Amino acid sequence: MLSDEEIREIEEEIPNYADRRSLTIDALKIVQRHRGWVSDEAVHDIGQLLGLSPSEIDHVATFYNLIFRKPVGRHVIMVCNSVSCWVMGYEGIRDALRDRLGIDLGGTTPDNRFTLLPNVCLGICDHAPALMIDEDTFTDLTADQLDGILARYP
């Protein structure tokens, strides 16, 4: 069940859209901001609120890679694996993150601090390799920088 706060925030967005279907991504982001991820129950509840089927909401949620349909850690690391990042050292960054965190891509650390995910493109190819933690972007990376970056996220 959506909380009163989630419903209020979603309903506040309605005037900004021509129809409720267009509000789907923002509604998903609102729920995720409150819960950390979007459960099947939340998909159903968003659908009811917007007058859409759960399937319609799920199609958007599973297409949009910044919506998490499974629980994630407190901080989500998205390491860019685009062609530009591959050429500029993605593999070294990925391997260093796996070593430091003790998890593979798609995994979450045992303390639930980090989830490590690949991302097709962060759109900053001129500063590859790059990664994003929560909403913060880090560019022109080297493996030596990772400990300092990770330390910013308790």
CA distance 9 to 106: 30
What percentage of residues in the chain have a pLDDT greater than 70? 100
The fold for domain 4-63 equals Arc Repressor Mutant, subunit A (1.10.10)
Cα–Cα distance measured from residue 108 to residue 3, given in angstroms and rounded to the nearest whole number: 27
What is the structure's pLDDT at 65?
85
Residue 141 has pLDDT above 90, yes or no: yes
For residue 51, is pLDDT > 90?
A: yes
Residue-wise pLDDT tens digits, 56-96: 999 999 998 889 999 999 999 999 999 999 999 999 999 99
Strand order of the sheet with strand 114-119? 114-119, 75-80, 131-133, 136-138
Nearest CA to 119 among 73, 70, 86?
86
Predicted confidence at residue 153, as pLDDT, reads: 97
pLDDT tens-digit map of 103-114: 999 999 999 999
Our measurement of the distance from residue 129's CA atom to the centroid of its chain's CA atoms, rounded to an integer in Å, reads 18
Tokens of 50: 């917007």
- Mean per-residue pLDDT over the chain, rounded: 96
Confidence category of residue 127, pLDDT binned at 50, 70, 90: very high
Domains in the chain: boundaries: 4-63, 75-151
Name the CATH superfamily, with its identifier, for domain 75-151.
Glutaredoxin (3.40.30.10)
- End-to-end alpha-carbon separation of the chain, Å? 30
